[in-house]
Amino acid sequence: MTTTTGFSAQVLRLDPQRETDRICARIRELMRNQVKRGGVVVALSGGIDSSVTAALAVRALGRGRVIGLEMPERHSARETLALSGKVAAALGIPTRVEDISGILQSVGFYEKYDNAVRMVVPEYGDGWASKIVISGVANQPRFTSFYLVTQDAQKVQSTVRLPLQPYLEIVAATNFKQRIRKMLEYYHADRLNYAVAGTPNRLEYDQGFFVKLGDGAADIKPIAHLYKSQVYQLAEFLGIPEDIRSRKPTTDTYSLAQGQDEFYFSLPYQMMDLCLYARNHDVTAESAAPVLGLEPQQVRMVYRDIDTKRKTTRYLHLPPLLVEEVEWE
């Protein structure tokens, strides 16, 4: 690895007007020449990525060719629906609200989830809430450790190390949420002859922070090349409401509030963006550490985590694999 000069906290600054124009031109080109659909469906979560994706779609295609879907469920944060509705109103696009709690109930999600948690916390029941967190970079061992945080009916929290099987059971159950939402996105896309716009940023796309055939499924992904810090820059330029721009990134998946850096990434997004950029541009840990406010050994741990996630989540990016290629006649 070589030392790259000029690495600083400013390397991710972009020209928002120029980048917006470039993305919008590409959206129009893809829709016209490849996707060939009349508009796009965007799932609105009240977060920064879906808000910016919707705003770019409106700029590219016009508000009459964009529809937002709001899909809360009983574990969603209270503010989710209000914020997703707020960005839709700001953009002037129609929305459909599809509460997916009933669908989740019908496939047994809530029961499956609770049973998985009870593998570790037998007393878990009505009135309780929970989430998964990981060990932080400052004290991270060679392998990431997962922990289950529970909160009982009296709001008392406890944390316990999560063995592999309960972890897999919990994650498999929560993946119902992303896959059900995507099913509804494609239902509305099909009935309108629209395409589905995915909302991952570069950090999520690169590191496999998505569910295969869930939020990872889409026809176009307009911001997958942008670091999350750059998504925030576009959000300000595009006039995304301040309370959405100031909202802490959240998975909005578990019944306890959960930040992305608690569950998946080693560091807050501002630092992870810089680490990913540094890794991509052969910046040594010794050169990156002062910019990040970390020790070189901690940066090396993050680099190792980036590489590991790329290897272990590669299958998420793969199309169905064939025994032999099928040629188009």
pLDDT digits (tens, 9 = 90+) for 43-71: 999 999 999 999 999 999 999 999 999 99
Query: Cβ distance 156 to 128 under 8 Å?
Result: no
| Annotated binding residues | 43-50, 179, 199, 204, 212, 219, 228, 250
Same domain, 69 and 218: yes
Give per-residue pLDDT as tens, 178-232: 999 999 999 999 999 999 999 999 999 999 999 999 999 999 999 999 999 999 9
Q: Per the annotation, where are the binding residues for deamido-NAD(+)? A: 179, 212, 219
Whether 319 is covered by a domain: the verdict is: no
- Helix then strand count (H, E) for the chain reads 14, 7
**Residue positions in the annotated binding site for ATP?**
43-50, 199, 228, 250
Give pLDDT, residue 142: 52
Q: Is the pLDDT of residue 140 over 60?
A: no
Residues 46 and 134 in one domain: no
C-alpha pair distances (Å), 323 with each of 9, 258, 316, 320, 326: 46, 41, 19, 10, 9
Q: Does residue 4 surpass a pLDDT of 60?
A: no
- Residue 1: per-residue pLDDT: 42
Half-sphere exposure of 131 (CA within 13 A, CB side): 21
**Adjacency order of strands within the sheet including 157-161:** 129-134, 146-151, 157-161
Could you tell me which of 86, 93, 123 has the C-alpha nearest to residue 246? 86
CA gap 10, 4 in Å, rounded = 14
In tens, the pLDDT along 161-178 reads 999 999 999 999 999 999
Q: Do 193 and 55 share a structural domain?
A: yes
Q: 253: Cβ–Cβ under 8 A, 6 or more apart, which residues?
A: 75, 174, 177
Q: Are residues 140 and 198 in the same domain?
A: no
- Do 188 and 173 lie in a common domain? yes
Strand pairing partners for 147?
133, 161
8 A C-beta contact, residue 73 and residue 101: yes
Residue ranges for the known binding site for Mg(2+) are: 49, 204
Residue 219 covered by a domain: yes
Say if residue 3's pLDDT is above 50: no
**Sheet arrangement for strand 195-197:** 95-97, 66-70, 40-44, 195-197
Strand-pairing partners, residue 66, are: 40
> Residues 18, 151: one domain?
no
Domain count, the chain: 2
Residue at which a domain ends, from 148, 167, 186: 167
Domain range holding 247? Answer: 11-106+168-314
